[in-house]
Amino acid sequence: MILITGATGFVGQALCAELARRQMAYRPVSRTPRPGHLAIGTIDAATDWSDALAGIDVVMHLAARVHVMNESAADPLAAFRAMNVDAAVNLARQAARAGVRRFVFLSSIKVNGEETAPGKPFRASDAPNPEDPYGYSKLEAEQALLAIGAETGMEIVIIRPPLVYGPGVRANFASLMKWAAKPFPWPFGAVRNRRSLVFVGNLVDFMLLCSAHPAVGNRVFLVSDGADLSIGELIAKLSSAQGKKALMLPVPPVLLEGLAALLGRRAAARRLLGSLQVDIGETKATADWSPPYSVEQGLEATVAGSKAKGG
């Protein structure tokens, strides 16, 4: 039996759907009562997980305070630590006492950093370099969980995905998808950045592999679709999936960066124009895994899901 926290979130819903499709036994947890879910109430350092953990062999911990663009907390690091570190540690300690065999933790590539140099993708063995409170909290959670695993014998598996997309995705990716359907020229024809993404179907497939594979315990893994895209290529593929053709103008990146600086949008330009690649070679070799969906299949499924929901 697999316990799923964060079961009502974007990744959690996809994970539960795939577990159901594979007819695997699982117990989804939510903060408030929902059909088919175990209501646990507030998830924090004092949550009692005894009922939820009864009969559980594997925990997949997805519940988290996620990265936000417009932070409102007076002390963001404390807010992230309360949920992403303290609540995770509380669950892990109770899981170990309950005899749980393996604890799978969904972390973030932000533990590695925000940007990669050309031709130098992040690897799981790289020294961590988080730059924001969210990334720091995920790193601290990883370290605490690995320590609990070493102390108790419960196997810890840590997964650091880059940007996750798929049907139902929101925020910036959903906005980009909508804009990609519009008939106007984009200034990214000369941008040669590379960014790794992971389709939620690929992420869920790897997470389920991690529930049972004998070689993945007490390790950190990076995961992606295995095909990195420039911002122009991503927009072109999103346009194509919607039956459109994107027009790319070859504006020099230095001009785009300068304009962004004048507009006070350096951070946004960094996300659009910078590179963030992950190397999944070790993941594929250790777990004998390859992404079951191509990036084109993932983007087509994401567009189809958006249309089905009236997006």
Answer whether 210's CB lies under 8 Å from 288's CB.
no
CA 217 to chain CA centroid, Å, is 19
Answer whether 13's CB lies under 8 Å from 34's CB.
no
| DSSP-based three-state secondary structure for 80 | helix
Dihedrals φ, ψ of 165, to 5°?
A: -130, 165
Which DSSP letter does residue 128 get? P
Selected catalytic residue, list 134, 136, 165, 293: 134
Specify whether 136 is catalytic.
Answer: no
Could you give the count of Cα atoms lying within 13 Å of 162 in the half-sphere of its Cβ?
29
Dihedrals φ, ψ of 156, to 5°?
A: -110, 130
Residue 259 has a CB neighbour count (10 Å cut-off) of: 13
Report how far apart the first and last C-alpha atoms of the chain are (Å, whole number). Answer: 35
C-alpha 295/C-alpha 227 separation (Å) is 7
Residue 144 has a CB neighbour count (10 Å cut-off) of: 18
Residues forming the active site: 134
